[in-house]
Amino acid sequence: MANTKRIQPSVQPVAKRVKNFTEVAMGFSKARAALECQRCPQCSQPECVKACPLGIDIPGFIRMIREGNFSNALQKIRESNSLAGICGRACSAPCEVACILNREKNPQPMAIQGLERAAFDFGNIKFQEIFNAQRTNKTGKKVAIIGSGAAGLMTGANLFEDGHEVMIFEALNKAGGFLQYGIPEFRLPKKVLDAELEYIASLGVQIKFNIMVGQAETIQQLFEEGFDAVLLATGLCFGQGNELPGSEASGVLTSQEFLFRINFLSAHLHPKFAATLPAGKTAAIIGAGPDAIDCARLALRLGKKTILIHPSTEDDVSAAVSDRFQAQEEGVQMEVLTKPLEVIQDDQGAVKGVRCVRMDFADSNGQWKLMPVKGSEFIVDADMVIACGPYTANTAVIAFTPGLTIQKQNFLCAKKDRYATSFKGVFAAGGMARGPVSLIETLAQGKAVADEIDQYLQESPKDKT
């Protein structure tokens, strides 16, 4: 009889990992992955597949790992997901929530995310030579993708498989977008991202760097150069107008700025570059998403005491439970049910702390709501503040594209489950389409918009006018 207890992937010991930037989760060995696979009941109507936004054949790839064939398992995953190695590390894993083994009094869901990672780690053999040899469905249509983040990469891979020529335009000198600059090394190693980018490129997807579409080259010019469709996938930027009073103080950063500085300057390899950050001993992180947890853990590794401030409960922290647990293990202090009111400055205009008020549930006109507790204001001492969110679409290209309009919600797509914009032949996906979503949902959008673009191209006349 198969073991019913979930086998957990290995992780670095706390005392060791807080002193380095290397990956915290060490993953499965081949033997432990195979043992975990023996627990899978191989459901005839698997709930895990229904819950996966990409519809990955989860029982299928688990069965292949159980048989010791990691390469075939990876190929099975890549039928639905071109970024298996990334999802095996950064996915929110809704499949595990839906797993039938998670419905018992003693929930022990399959470690699907860890097994997807194992398929990538042990089965990453280059199948693209076989794929390219078999690819005979070339359409002669060209698609330009603006942005090389998760949405752009996923869309590019799927469109290429549909037979279209794909060119990705990236404003910076490295591909990956948020995957490259927004996720710490200890959660997504650059070598894994590089391997995924190599796989995408080896399929035939081309990437051009250091090109700011809209300024250096307009969307209209792309059409004039022979592209038949354009996808905008430039992601999100920090929303303006919702800052705390006092946010102009020296020592206040957005999460995007903080994560970008660390990743762009490779501070995980050369900690001396972290000197570009505000000096001091204590960082207050305002937020509760994955970026807030990442910033807190990064600041801790840079030698700062870290305090995460969040107005709701700990259960409302939207980061993965494992990341939240590891952050607390490492020493991140969580001030939940705490609402930040103002950034306090010293005489020199630098951060001195954050004035906060305690929150609690109370009756408000017959409704149970979180309300400030009277007389509970206090100050969190800090010399650095990292503000996480809110985010809005990065719509800089709009100013250079007559005919492309922003919807009321400040995003580009108005119709549910459709990705066409107001400009014919131009589509949007990822954060700029409808706002912040999880990684797996972003990839699902990339897959869906690829289908929509493919349909548009099939319906378009072959001869360019």
Give long-range contacts, CB 8 A cutoff, 24+ apart: 22-26: 22/185, 22/186, 22/189, 23/89, 23/185, 23/186, 23/187, 23/189, 24/186, 24/187, 24/326, 25/89, 25/114, 25/117, 25/187, 25/322
Single out the residue in 70, 92, 123 at which a domain terminates.
123
Higher pLDDT, 411 or 214: 214
> 126-130, 227-231, 390-394, 426-430: which has the highest mean pLDDT?
227-231
Peptide bond into 390 cis (omega under 30): yes
- Same domain? 269 vs 332: yes
Domains identified in the chain, total number: 3
- Same domain? 256 vs 378: yes
CB 150 within 8 A of CB 442: yes
Single out the residue in 331, 354, 389 at which a domain terminates.
389
CATH label of the domain that carries residue 68: 1.10.1060.10
- Same domain? 143 vs 214: yes
- Same domain? 204 vs 91: no
170 has pLDDT over 90: yes
In this prediction, residue 449 carries a pLDDT of 96
- Same domain? 261 vs 363: yes
What is the rounded CA–CA span in Å between residue 59 and residue 256? 37
Q: Is residue 5 part of a domain?
A: no
Determine the 3-state secondary structure of 224 from DSSP. Answer: helix
Q: Is residue 244 part of a domain?
A: no
Q: Is residue 371 part of a domain?
A: yes
Q: What is the mean pLDDT of the chain?
A: 89
1 has pLDDT over 50: no
Q: Is residue 433 part of a domain?
A: yes
In this prediction, residue 128 carries a pLDDT of 46
Q: Is residue 243 part of a domain?
A: no
- Same domain? 339 vs 384: yes
Q: Is residue 114 part of a domain?
A: yes
Residue identified by tokens 């072959």 is: 462
366 has pLDDT over 80: no
High-pLDDT (> 90) share of the chain, %: 70
The answer for residues whose C-beta is within 8 angstroms of residue 310's C-beta and 6 or more apart is: 286, 287, 288, 292, 316, 317, 334, 335, 336, 337, 338
Distance of CA 193 to the CA centre of its chain: 12
- Same domain? 366 vs 422: no
Least confident of 26-40, 46-60, 131-145, 173-187: 131-145
CATH label of the domain that carries residue 175: 3.50.50.60
Quote the radius of gyration of the chain (alpha carbons, Å).
Answer: 23
pLDDT in tens, 284-294: 999 989 999 99
Summarize the confidence of residues 204-222 as an average pLDDT.
91
pLDDT in tens, 369-389: 899 999 999 999 999 999 997
Host domain of residue 328: 252-389
- Same domain? 360 vs 423: no
Q: Is residue 432 part of a domain?
A: yes
pLDDT in tens, 448-457: 999 999 999 9
pLDDT in tens, 21-32: 999 999 999 999
Is the C-alpha dihedral spanning 18, 24, 30, 35 positive or negative? positive
- Same domain? 440 vs 366: no
What is the rounded CA–CA span in Å between residue 121 and residue 116? 9
Summarize the confidence of residues 315-337 as an average pLDDT.
92
- Same domain? 321 vs 397: no
- Same domain? 447 vs 432: yes
Q: pLDDT band at 272, cuts 50/70/90?
A: low
Q: In degrees rounded to 5, what are phi and psi of residue 151?
A: -65, -45
10 has pLDDT over 80: yes
Q: pLDDT band at 464, cuts 50/70/90?
A: very low
In this prediction, residue 135 carries a pLDDT of 55
Single out the residue in 59, 93, 123 at which a domain terminates.
123
Q: Is residue 4 part of a domain?
A: no
pLDDT in tens, 115-130: 999 999 999 865 544 4
What are the helix (H) ranges across 168-304?
178-181, 190-203, 219-224, 255-264, 290-301
- Same domain? 378 vs 401: no
Q: pLDDT band at 134, cuts 50/70/90?
A: very low
In this prediction, residue 147 carries a pLDDT of 95
